[in-house]
Amino acid sequence: MDSSEFHIEKKTSYKVLVLLLLPIPDLYVYSVPPEVHVQVGSIVRVPLQSRSVIGIVWLGNVYSHISSEKMRSIEHVFDCLPISRKMCEFINWVSDYTLSMPGLIARMVLYTPAILKKQIKEKGLRYIGGQPQILTAARSRVIEKIKEKDIWLKNELIKTAGVSPSVIDGLQVQGIIEQVNIPVSPMVMPPDPNFCRPKLEDHQYEAVRNLVALCEGGFSVSLVEGVTGSGKTEVYLEAVAKILSLGKQVLILLPEITLTESCLERFQSRFGAKAAEWHSGLSSRVREDVWRQTMCGQIRVVIGARSALFLPFKELGLIIVDEEHDPAYKQEDRIFYNARDMSVVRGRLEGFPVILVSATPSIESQINRSFGRYHAVYLAQRYKGSVLPDVQLVDMRYESLKHGKFLSSKLLANIENTLKKGEQTLLFLNRRGYAPLTLCRVCGYRFQCPDCSSWLVEHRSSNDLRCHQCGYVEPKRETCPECESCNCMIACGPGVERISEEVESYFPQAHIVILSSDMEGGAKRFRSQLKAIAKGNVDIVIGTQLIAKGHNFPRMSLVGVVDGDLSLSNVDLRAAERTFQLLSQVVGRAGRFGLTSLGLIQVYDPEHPVMQALVSGDSKAFYECEIYERKKALLPPFTRLAAVIVSSRDRQEAEIYAQELRKNSPKASGILVFGPAEAPLALLRGLYRFRLLIHGTRQASLQAFIKAMLLHSPKKPKSVNVQFDIDPQSFL
């Protein structure tokens, strides 16, 4: 792609290729009127059939057999900087890899429509110099005042100098003062790399030295691995300081919006200024300001969720992916991409370093480190000599629990002891709501979502039943809709609300909070409760995975896992790895500030390798075993997978087209096709889903195989959707 500017100077029209922000594969040719100035990357509005659409100028100076007189022209060029050549290359790469239309990838770059609104530039007045022909007292006061600062608002100057508007207008006509655009105030002040340098311990200093050296050498990927509480954030912030001192921008990615607040606070403490934040919870106006000021380089650091990866930085110099193992980095809706992997791609294309950070790195990253593709940085001990929690298992097979009770006697005894010491307890259960299933004890009727293959979850805080897949809600009933029996509904299994109810019955004087993504009050209440926990104003925290990572609680000394086996039952090749990662992170919330700490995990299969590794603390042995099993079974990352998901509101139509894809699959060495079969979530948001799973060697091009499959298959019916998930992370 030619990135050069091609301003139109002559009285002739240019022809350019425009990428439209639509789910279409083709680029369209448009003429550029002589009075219009565009360049590659310019954001434009163009006609398409009977409507106007947004696009990006993708290539200039193109040939077309259609004459300029007959060709449709660019209607408008938007008032913002063009998308850079490197960003256009990134859009192309992501499109090719994910098998997504490039216009849809470009739409993620132009995330907020507000950026396309015309900017209203505020006007001010500035002193040029000289004296008017007649220097009246009023004019003298204006000249005296206007010299006090660079730019004045007109009304402000009139009021301060005590003159009428005509006095200002007269000085402007005589060229004594002039009207200028007032520069846009930055959302955040520039961070100071030298503001508050931390006192690093020896093991941290060595890690910083290695990272800073790598930051000076162009593209590289570093994997920072350290036990929970080892000070990984302090270490990577020193790499941020180095990049800022070089005059470049930084992006810090986090897997959860809820982690943003604490990261922003730590950033401000280190650099004396706030970073900008980017996530779906921001208003359209704030997103517009962040987008524009990131693009022009005013904003130096952005901390955000995975979508921040597609911000058009002016001069990005570093991406940090914190908690790189977290599955939340994988988007599994519309466009399937892994923000961790795409961060590495963007770093390679633009020539800057990428830092991946985790206490429990993904197996993919560990393999890349072992092959020398990623640089290794280790932090083997906790900060200031804090000791990791003692982890113990509670074998629930030998617990005699009353009906509707879920906490063991050992866990309850330790909660009581922790309360007596004035310390805090975290109870972890990765289930929102009160109970995952509600059924009729008379006829066995189960409440199911009408649009999904999933049970409705009871939420007693809102007195309703909810689908956690599509958001469907219906009121809680006392009468069975099947047999019409009254007062027959029973809750099966625990959610965090039910655990809270049980804890309250044992410890009525304790201050208890629930932290879950569907809690009332949203992000504002969540931040408030985090601060209350950090100050020691909460005794017992009951939470989902929302609370499992990235938080520091000085008074927390006990972590209890209510159901340690829960995620091991998933139909997922990564179930063991993810369970180990999640529970390691949860237990790691305790004892971070020198307190003697304990992690109790309630399990029904204490001999499982995951549980044994958690008790022994031997993560290396666990990962070696897991990697060996993956390699033996020819599973990723030693092979590749791709999923083709066919869906329709008509079940038969979806199944027939999925079968056509399988029937027309090309023969290819090293590639196998499994299915089609109903997806585990066979019905999702009203769509019936069938899946083909494509398995190939590391060298196989699954994208080329899928393209050939589509080419040889019948045309897809309009009512059928086909999605592609390259390197799937979940199998629902």
Q: Is 285 exposed, middle or buried (0-12, 13-18, 19+ CB in 10 A)?
A: exposed
Is residue 625 marked as binding?
Answer: no
Is residue 492 marked as binding?
Answer: no
pLDDT above 90 covers a percentage of the chain that reads: 63
Q: Does position 126 have pLDDT exceeding 80, yes or no?
A: yes
Q: Does position 367 have pLDDT exceeding 90, yes or no?
A: yes
Is residue 440 marked as binding?
Answer: yes
Is residue 196 marked as binding?
Answer: no
pLDDT of amino acid 567: 87
**Residue 151: pLDDT band by 50, 70, 90 thresholds?**
confident
The number of residues making up the chain comes to 732
Instruction: Tell me the pLDDT tens digit for each residue of 455-477.
Output: 999 999 889 999 999 999 999 98
- Between strands 330-333 and 335-338, the pairing is antiparallel
Instruction: Tell me the pLDDT tens digit for each residue of 509-554.
Output: 999 999 888 777 677 788 888 888 888 899 999 999 888 877 778 8
Q: Does position 3 have pLDDT exceeding 60, yes or no?
A: no
Q: Does position 331 have pLDDT exceeding 50, yes or no?
A: yes
Tell me how far apart the alpha carbons of residues 263 and 259 are, in angstroms, rounded to a whole number: 6
Phi, psi at 704, each rounded to 5°: -65, -40
Instruction: Tell me the pLDDT tens digit for each residue of 661-718.
Output: 999 999 998 999 999 999 989 999 999 999 999 999 999 999 999 999 999 999 999 9
pLDDT of amino acid 11: 47
**Residue 415: pLDDT band by 50, 70, 90 thresholds?**
very high
- Between strands 489-492 and 437-440, the pairing is antiparallel
Q: Does position 7 have pLDDT exceeding 50, yes or no?
A: no
Q: Which residue, chain included where needed, has tokens 């006095």? A: 167
**Residue 1: pLDDT band by 50, 70, 90 thresholds?**
very low
**Rounded mean pLDDT of 255-263?**
85
Q: Does position 488 have pLDDT exceeding 50, yes or no?
A: yes
Closest CA to 74 of 106, 118, 44, 35: 44
**Residue 118: pLDDT band by 50, 70, 90 thresholds?**
low
Is residue 215 marked as binding?
Answer: no
Q: Does position 192 have pLDDT exceeding 90, yes or no?
A: yes
Is residue 470 marked as binding?
Answer: yes
Is residue 443 marked as binding?
Answer: yes
Which residue pairs, CB below 8 angstroms and at least 24 apart, start in 151-159?
A: 151/124, 151/125, 151/126, 151/180, 151/182, 152/124, 152/125, 152/126, 153/122, 153/124, 153/125, 153/182, 154/123, 154/124, 154/125, 157/125
Is residue 488 marked as binding?
Answer: no
Instruction: Tell me the pLDDT tens digit for each residue of 21-68.
Output: 999 988 999 988 888 888 999 999 999 999 999 999 998 877 666 766
pLDDT of amino acid 113: 65
Mean per-residue pLDDT of the chain: 90
Tell me how far apart the alpha carbons of residues 178 and 128 are, in angstroms, rounded to a whole number: 7
